[in-house]
Amino acid sequence: MNDTPLMCPSSPWDTPDGKVFGIVAGTVEKPEVHYLKETLDATPELVAKLNGEDPGEVLRVAAPCAKTACKHHDGEAHQCTLVSRIVSTVPIMFVGRAPCAIRSTCLWWAQEGAEACKRCPKVVTHPRVIADTDLALAAAPPKQVTDLSA
Ligand code: SF4
């Protein structure tokens, strides 16, 4: 049995054991994630190469799903509500599936399949502004975290 934990592909860049799998290119209005062939550790050396850019705006990082400690997690349904909203509100960006080094462990892929991958290249984990109205709607969490001990 494979007990590898599913990875959230929109984790904070400094999450312990986080793996960088994408770099955000494009513009603030139209971001576009470029996927890496192999993941990288988000080391201080890598961050230093960003020339002062906010790593949360530039790096896409995967780390084990935080489950009920995350404001987007539906504890009862054991689902990520963020990717559910992305799939239901954000238009397709990419026909097919982006080449992605974390697909086999990606929570969004496990939950929503190719529909998540068609929209994933638009996602910026911590944007200064969200120019895309559909993405802004999708990013609004359904609840605030009140219990981080679970
Ligand atoms: S949703 Fe698809 S493209 Fe995005 S990280 Fe997961 S497997 Fe990769």
Please report which confidence band the pLDDT of residue 145 belongs to, taking 50, 70 and 90 as the band edges.
very low
Give residue 127's pLDDT: 81
DSSP string, 82-94: HHHHHHHHSPP-S
The tens digit of pLDDT for each residue in 67-86 reads 999 999 988 888 999 999 99
Q: What is the pLDDT of residue 13?
A: 93
CA of 148 to the centre of ligand 1 (A): 26
Tokens of 43: 């080391």
| Residue whose pair of structure tokens reads 């969200």 in the numeric block | 130
Residue 122 has pLDDT above 60, yes or no: yes
Mean pLDDT of 19-35: 92
| pLDDT band for position 143 (cuts 50, 70, 90) | low
Q: What are phi and psi of 143, to 5 degrees?
A: -160, 165
Amino acid (1-letter code) at residue 44? P
Q: How remote is the CA of residue 73 from the centroid of ligand 1, in Å?
A: 17
What's 5-36 look like in SS3? CCEEEEECCCCCCCEEEEEEEECCCCEEEEEE
Q: How confident is the model at residue 19 (pLDDT cuts 50, 70, 90)?
A: very high
Mutate to test the pocket of ligand 1, among 85, 106, 124 (most ligand atoms within 8 A of CB): 106
Check pocket membership of 36 for ligand 1, CB cut-off 6 A. Answer: no
Q: Is the pLDDT of residue 131 over 60?
A: yes
CA of 44 to the centre of ligand 1 (A): 25
Residue 113 falls in which region: left (phi positive, over 0), alpha (psi -120 to 50) or beta: left
Q: Whose CA is nearest to atom 7 of ligand 1?
A: 103
**CA 56 to centroid of ligand 1, rounded, Å:** 17
With a pLDDT cut of 70, the percent of the chain lying above it is 93
